[in-house]
Amino acid sequence: MKKELLQKFEEVFGSEGEYQVYFAPGRVNLIGEHTDYNGGHVFPCALTIGTYAVARKRNDDKLRFYSLNFKGLGVIESTIVNPEYKKEDDWTNYPKGVIWAMQKKGYPVNAGMDVLYFGNIPNASGLSSSASLEVLTGFILRNLFSLKVTNTELALIGQYSENNFNGVNCGIMDQFAVAMGKKNNAIFLDTADLSYEYAPLDLGDAKIVIMNTNKKRGLGDSKYNERRSECESALRDLQKVLPVTALGELTEEQFEEYQSAIIDPIQRKRAKHAVYENQRTIKAVEALKKNDLTLFGKLMIASHVSLQYDYEVTGIELDTIVEAALRQEGVIGARMTGAGFGGCAVSIVKEAAVDNFIKNVSKEYSDKIGYLAAFYVVEVGDGPVIL
């Protein structure tokens, strides 16, 4: 891979000067969905699939970006002086946004670059191809400009650029999981204060199988921002009767006692999901620590049901694939992962049953939906690295 990427880079940008190969992972969230912008817990892990780049610093202000995933777009050029969002700059608005965010935070990113990217995360699948691209770009900048930035800051800068440059009001989970990934561990992150703990993912004879519905979704055109404001509204109602600053602070009992303060019934359902999902995430991590995979799986299933009926972010494709998964032998748990509305679901399946699982779910899915799903048996990997 490294050799091929270097070769491509030389073909596109020439071989003068110094350049290196970088990698940042994608992520899958095991449980704790739509909790990160509600001050709750999440439990994602980094994957060994992700985004690669070859990058070189230039002596002028030019930014030249090329992606092997979008060859047809050719080299997209811009400048490091006052980067601005431009529709025609397409995917390069992500790396440009990170440069903009770094500059805005006062880091001296003051020379151009040539960067070639290649990602093996399926696009718009909910496995964080954009967070991977953002954190990777920040990591490259840190290296090329010798910046004193921690990995947590790289995550925050990525999120800041996505919120303020690319206009998606995402939480911190994706960028944090990408920047802080650790091989064979999931990250139990409290988004209220960014305290976190690594939890060894000891799945015994089971594997993580990601099921891609192949129903594309983009956060921008989804109802993501709408869900976020529904939760904020529900919180404002609750604050009239309870001194809380985020839905993630509530226990299930408190929610039951005070839920009638939320006037709008839809917003009440959204808040219920946020509160219960946060508690489920805490319980799931405890279960994993006790090696109780059965309970972990049950909590995953409960998470999906809540996302389906209370949060309403699943849809026919995700529901079909999860329901088919849960009918199979050897399945421990399954649920949608990421923002929802399409994209991927994640399941934990006994290794010996994986082949049949994929065969059967694949058939049930395409019979009902009319096109094929894709399946990935994934490994849990580290955060960004220079290769």
Instruction: Give 5 or 250: the residue with its C-beta nearer to ligand GLA.
Output: 250
User: Can you give the length of the chain in residues?
Assistant: 387
C-alpha 130/C-alpha 175 separation (Å) is 9
Q: For residue 362, give both structure tokens.
A: 């694949």
Q: How far is the CB of 3 from ligand GLA (least distance, A)?
A: 33
Q: How far is the CB of 108 from ligand GLA (least distance, A)?
A: 29
List active site positions.
174
Contacting residue, 33, 190, 310, 364, with ligand GLA by CB under 6 A: 33
C-alpha 358/C-alpha 342 separation (Å) is 18
Closest to 142 (Cα-Cα) out of 14, 9, 20, 2: 20
Q: How far is the CB of 26 from ligand GLA (least distance, A)?
A: 11
Q: How far is the CB of 215 from ligand GLA (least distance, A)?
A: 15
Choices 61-69, 166-174, 252-260, 345-353; region in contact with ligand GLA by CB under 6 A: 166-174
Q: For residue 71, give both structure tokens.
A: 């060859």
Closest to 49 (Cα-Cα) out of 349, 278, 357, 344: 344
Choices 138-146, 165-173, 251-259, 350-358; region in contact with ligand GLA by CB under 6 A: 165-173
Q: Which helix (H) or strand (E) holds 277?
A: helix 265-289
The size of the interface with ligand GLA (CB under 6 A), counted in residues, is: 10
Q: How far is the CB of 314 from ligand GLA (least distance, A)?
A: 12
Q: For residue 50, give both structure tokens.
A: 């992700």
- Contacts with ligand GLA in 36-55 (CB under 6 A)? 36-37
Closest to 115 (Cα-Cα) out of 22, 36, 214: 22
Half-sphere exposure of 385 (CA within 13 A, CB side): 14
Q: Does residue 134 bind ligand GLA (CB under 6 A)? A: no
Contacting residue, 31, 155, 339, 344, with ligand GLA by CB under 6 A: 339
Q: For residue 64, give both structure tokens.
A: 């030249």
Contacting residue, 95, 333, 338, 383, with ligand GLA by CB under 6 A: 338
Q: Are 310 and 272 in contact (CB under 8 A)?
A: yes
Q: Which residue has the tokens 């921008």?
A: 220
- Contacts with ligand GLA in 168-197 (CB under 6 A)? 170-171, 173-174
Q: Interface residues with ligand GLA (CB under 6 A)? A: 33-34, 36-37, 170-171, 173-174, 338-339
